Protein backbone atom coordinates (compact mmCIF):
# COMPACT_ATOMS: atom_id res chain seq x y z
CA UNK A 1 0.00 0.00 0.00
CA UNK A 2 1.35 3.41 -1.01
CA UNK A 3 0.66 6.09 1.61
CA UNK A 4 0.13 9.67 0.48
CA UNK A 5 0.29 13.00 2.32
CA UNK A 6 -1.78 15.71 0.64
CA UNK A 7 -0.48 19.26 1.16
CA UNK A 8 -2.59 22.11 -0.22
CA UNK A 9 -4.09 25.22 1.35
CA UNK A 10 -7.38 24.88 -0.54
CA UNK A 11 -9.97 22.65 1.10
CA UNK A 12 -11.65 21.74 -2.18
CA UNK A 13 -8.35 20.67 -3.73
CA UNK A 14 -7.48 18.45 -0.77
CA UNK A 15 -10.94 16.90 -0.88
CA UNK A 16 -10.64 16.15 -4.57
CA UNK A 17 -7.19 14.61 -4.19
CA UNK A 18 -8.28 12.54 -1.17
CA UNK A 19 -11.29 11.20 -3.08
CA UNK A 20 -9.10 10.31 -6.05
CA UNK A 21 -6.33 8.64 -4.02
CA UNK A 22 -8.69 6.69 -1.75
CA UNK A 23 -10.52 5.32 -4.78
CA UNK A 24 -7.51 3.15 -5.61
CA UNK A 25 -6.90 -0.21 -3.94
CA UNK A 26 -3.14 0.28 -3.68
CA UNK A 27 -3.17 3.91 -2.47
CA UNK A 28 -4.23 5.47 0.83
CA UNK A 29 -4.20 9.00 2.23
CA UNK A 30 -2.07 9.07 5.38
CA UNK A 31 -2.79 12.68 6.30
CA UNK A 32 -3.52 16.17 5.01
CA UNK A 33 -1.91 19.56 5.63
CA UNK A 34 -2.96 23.10 4.74
CA UNK A 35 0.37 24.89 5.19
CA UNK A 36 4.09 24.22 4.84
CA UNK A 37 4.96 23.75 8.51
CA UNK A 38 2.09 21.34 9.03
CA UNK A 39 3.24 19.41 5.97
CA UNK A 40 6.70 18.87 7.45
CA UNK A 41 5.18 17.92 10.80
CA UNK A 42 2.78 15.43 9.22
CA UNK A 43 5.58 13.97 7.10
CA UNK A 44 7.61 13.33 10.25
CA UNK A 45 4.62 11.87 12.04
CA UNK A 46 3.35 9.57 9.30
CA UNK A 47 6.39 9.05 7.03
CA UNK A 48 4.29 8.71 3.88
CA UNK A 49 5.66 7.21 0.71
CA UNK A 50 4.69 10.26 -1.34
CA UNK A 51 3.86 13.88 -0.52
CA UNK A 52 1.64 15.71 -3.01
CA UNK A 53 3.07 19.18 -2.44
CA UNK A 54 1.42 22.44 -3.40
CA UNK A 55 3.92 25.25 -4.02
CA UNK A 56 2.10 28.27 -2.66
CA UNK A 57 1.02 27.71 0.93
CA UNK A 58 0.90 29.86 4.10
CA UNK A 59 3.78 29.90 6.55
CA UNK A 60 6.61 28.27 4.66
CA UNK A 61 5.90 27.48 1.02
CA UNK A 62 6.07 24.11 -0.66
CA UNK A 63 9.67 24.64 -1.75
CA UNK A 64 10.91 25.20 1.79
CA UNK A 65 8.78 22.30 3.04
CA UNK A 66 10.30 20.07 0.36
CA UNK A 67 13.78 21.20 1.39
CA UNK A 68 13.16 20.39 5.06
CA UNK A 69 11.70 16.98 4.28
CA UNK A 70 14.60 16.12 1.95
CA UNK A 71 17.17 17.26 4.53
CA UNK A 72 15.73 15.08 7.30
CA UNK A 73 17.57 11.71 7.41
CA UNK A 74 14.53 10.12 9.04
CA UNK A 75 12.51 10.99 5.93
CA UNK A 76 14.96 9.70 3.34
CA UNK A 77 12.33 7.36 1.88
CA UNK A 78 9.68 10.08 1.53
CA UNK A 79 9.25 11.26 -2.07
CA UNK A 80 7.86 14.69 -2.94
CA UNK A 81 5.70 15.26 -6.01
CA UNK A 82 5.09 18.96 -6.56
CA UNK A 83 1.78 20.13 -7.99
CA UNK A 84 1.97 23.46 -9.77
CA UNK A 85 -0.62 25.69 -11.41
CA UNK A 86 1.46 27.04 -14.27
CA UNK A 87 3.58 25.15 -16.77
CA UNK A 88 6.45 27.63 -16.40
CA UNK A 89 6.14 28.12 -12.68
CA UNK A 90 9.22 29.98 -11.45
CA UNK A 91 9.47 27.60 -8.51
CA UNK A 92 9.72 24.36 -10.46
CA UNK A 93 13.50 24.21 -10.73
CA UNK A 94 13.93 25.22 -7.10
CA UNK A 95 11.59 22.39 -6.12
CA UNK A 96 13.70 19.86 -8.00
CA UNK A 97 16.93 21.34 -6.67
CA UNK A 98 15.61 21.02 -3.13
CA UNK A 99 14.74 17.36 -3.42
CA UNK A 100 11.43 16.98 -5.26
CA UNK A 101 11.19 13.83 -7.37
CA UNK A 102 9.16 15.60 -10.03
CA UNK A 103 6.17 17.79 -10.66
CA UNK A 104 2.82 17.86 -12.38
CA UNK A 105 0.38 20.53 -13.42
CA UNK A 106 -2.70 20.73 -11.24
CA UNK A 107 -4.94 20.17 -14.26
CA UNK A 108 -3.27 16.83 -15.00
CA UNK A 109 -5.75 14.06 -15.83
CA UNK A 110 -6.67 11.93 -12.79
CA UNK A 111 -5.24 8.75 -14.33
CA UNK A 112 -1.92 10.50 -14.98
CA UNK A 113 -1.75 11.80 -11.41
CA UNK A 114 -2.35 8.32 -10.03
CA UNK A 115 0.36 6.94 -12.31
CA UNK A 116 2.70 9.68 -11.16
CA UNK A 117 2.21 8.76 -7.51
CA UNK A 118 3.09 5.15 -8.27
CA UNK A 119 6.11 6.11 -10.38
CA UNK A 120 7.53 8.41 -7.69
CA UNK A 121 6.82 5.86 -4.93
CA UNK A 122 8.85 3.32 -6.91
CA UNK A 123 11.87 5.64 -6.79
CA UNK A 124 11.64 6.97 -10.32
CA UNK A 125 11.31 10.63 -11.30
CA UNK A 126 8.83 12.44 -13.47
CA UNK A 127 11.25 13.90 -15.96
CA UNK A 128 10.40 12.02 -19.11
CA UNK A 129 7.52 14.01 -20.65
CA UNK A 130 8.63 16.63 -23.14
CA UNK A 131 6.83 19.35 -21.21
CA UNK A 132 8.92 18.55 -18.17
CA UNK A 133 12.15 18.58 -20.12
CA UNK A 134 11.27 22.00 -21.46
CA UNK A 135 10.45 23.44 -18.06
CA UNK A 136 13.54 22.00 -16.37
CA UNK A 137 15.73 23.31 -19.19
CA UNK A 138 14.12 26.74 -18.94
CA UNK A 139 15.06 27.19 -15.32
CA UNK A 140 18.27 25.20 -15.16
CA UNK A 141 19.88 26.96 -18.12
CA UNK A 142 18.69 30.46 -17.26
CA UNK A 143 21.31 33.20 -17.40
CA UNK A 144 20.53 34.06 -13.79
CA UNK A 145 21.73 30.63 -12.68
CA UNK A 146 25.53 30.48 -12.96
CA UNK A 147 27.22 27.11 -13.38
CA UNK A 148 28.06 25.55 -10.04
CA UNK A 149 29.87 22.23 -10.57
CA UNK A 150 29.08 19.47 -8.11
CA UNK A 151 31.96 19.04 -5.60
CA UNK A 152 32.21 15.33 -6.48
CA UNK A 153 32.11 15.89 -10.23
CA UNK A 154 35.76 14.88 -10.65
CA UNK A 155 34.99 11.40 -9.30
CA UNK A 156 32.98 10.58 -12.42
CA UNK A 157 34.56 8.79 -15.35
CA UNK A 158 34.30 10.39 -18.78
CA UNK A 159 31.52 7.97 -19.72
CA UNK A 160 29.64 8.68 -16.49
CA UNK A 161 29.87 12.43 -17.13
CA UNK A 162 28.53 11.87 -20.64
CA UNK A 163 25.64 9.79 -19.32
CA UNK A 164 24.78 12.29 -16.59
CA UNK A 165 24.54 14.90 -19.35
CA UNK A 166 22.12 12.67 -21.27
CA UNK A 167 20.05 12.15 -18.12
CA UNK A 168 19.97 15.93 -17.90
CA UNK A 169 18.49 16.07 -21.40
CA UNK A 170 15.62 13.93 -20.13
CA UNK A 171 16.65 10.65 -21.72
CA UNK A 172 15.67 7.41 -20.02
CA UNK A 173 18.00 4.40 -19.81
CA UNK A 174 16.79 2.83 -23.05
CA UNK A 175 17.24 6.12 -24.91
CA UNK A 176 20.73 6.55 -23.45
CA UNK A 177 21.62 3.01 -24.50
CA UNK A 178 20.45 3.69 -28.05
CA UNK A 179 22.35 7.00 -28.22
CA UNK A 180 25.62 5.44 -27.03
CA UNK A 181 25.12 2.02 -28.65
CA UNK A 182 25.39 0.11 -25.37
CA UNK A 183 22.96 -2.21 -23.61
CA UNK A 184 20.23 -0.77 -21.38
CA UNK A 185 21.77 -2.68 -18.48
CA UNK A 186 25.10 -0.93 -19.06
CA UNK A 187 23.40 2.46 -19.21
CA UNK A 188 21.51 1.66 -16.01
CA UNK A 189 24.74 0.69 -14.26
CA UNK A 190 26.47 3.93 -15.25
CA UNK A 191 23.49 5.99 -14.09
CA UNK A 192 23.41 4.17 -10.75
CA UNK A 193 27.15 4.64 -10.19
CA UNK A 194 26.91 8.33 -11.02
CA UNK A 195 24.02 8.76 -8.59
CA UNK A 196 26.01 7.09 -5.83
CA UNK A 197 29.13 9.17 -6.50
CA UNK A 198 27.20 12.45 -6.60
CA UNK A 199 24.93 11.54 -3.71
CA UNK A 200 21.84 12.05 -5.85
CA UNK A 201 18.62 11.27 -4.00
CA UNK A 202 16.96 10.15 -7.24
CA UNK A 203 17.08 10.69 -10.98
CA UNK A 204 15.44 14.10 -10.66
CA UNK A 205 18.27 15.38 -8.52
CA UNK A 206 20.78 13.91 -10.97
CA UNK A 207 19.20 16.09 -13.67
CA UNK A 208 19.68 19.15 -11.47
CA UNK A 209 23.33 18.26 -10.86
CA UNK A 210 23.83 17.81 -14.61
CA UNK A 211 22.59 21.33 -15.32
CA UNK A 212 24.41 22.94 -12.41
CA UNK A 213 27.66 21.27 -13.46
CA UNK A 214 27.35 22.32 -17.09
CA UNK A 215 27.12 18.75 -18.40
CA UNK A 216 24.06 19.29 -20.59
CA UNK A 217 24.94 20.13 -24.18
CA UNK A 218 23.50 23.21 -25.80
Give residue limits of the domains in the chain: 2-126, 153-212
Give pLDDT, residue 56.
86
Question: What is the separation of C-alpha 64 from the centre of its chain, rounded to a whole number of angstroms?
Answer: 14
Give pLDDT, residue 55.
87
pTM of structure: 0.71
E strands of 85-206, at which residues? 102-105
Give pLDDT, residue 12.
93
Give pLDDT, residue 172.
83
Is the pLDDT score of 199 beyond 80?
Answer: yes
Give the count of beta carbons closer than 10 Å to the beta carbon of residue 106. 16
- CB contact at 8 A, 139 and 92: yes
102 vs 154: which has the higher pLDDT:
154
- Mean pLDDT for the chain? 84
Tens digits of per-residue pLDDT, 49-99?
999 999 889 989 898 999 999 889 999 889 999 887 765 556 667 777 788
Q: Among positive and negative, which fits the CA dihedral 138, 172, 188, 161? A: negative
CATH classification code of 153-212: 1.10.10.10
- Domain 2-126: which CATH number of 3.40.50.1780, 3.40.50.970, 3.40.50.2300, 3.40.640.10: 3.40.50.2300
Give pLDDT, residue 208.
79
Tens digits of per-residue pLDDT, 3-44?
999 999 999 999 999 999 999 999 999 999 999 999 999 999
Nearby residues of 103 by Cβ (< 8 Å), 6 or more positions away: 81, 82, 83, 84, 92, 95, 96, 126, 132, 135
Give pLDDT, residue 218.
54
For the CA atoms of the chain, what is the radius of gyration? 17
Nearest 5°: the CA angle 55, 104, 66 is: 40
Give pLDDT, residue 128.
44
Nearby residues of 214 by Cβ (< 8 Å), 6 or more positions away: 147, 149
3-state secondary structure 89-124: CCCHHHHHHCCCCEEEECCCCHHHHHHHHHHHHCCC
Angle between helices 203-212 and 130-140 (to 10 degrees): 40
Tens digits of per-residue pLDDT, 107-152?
888 998 999 899 888 877 665 454 455 555 665 555 445 567 788 8
How is the chain split among helix, strand and coil, in percent rounded to 5?
50, 15, 35
Give pLDDT, residue 72.
92
Mean pLDDT of 189-208: 86
Amino acid sequence: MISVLIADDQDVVRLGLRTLVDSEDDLAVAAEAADGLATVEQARRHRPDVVLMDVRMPGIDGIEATKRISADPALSDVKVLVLTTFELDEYVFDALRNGASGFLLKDTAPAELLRAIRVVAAGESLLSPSVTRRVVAEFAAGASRPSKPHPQLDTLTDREREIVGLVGEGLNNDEIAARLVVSPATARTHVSRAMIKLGARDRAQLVVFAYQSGLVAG
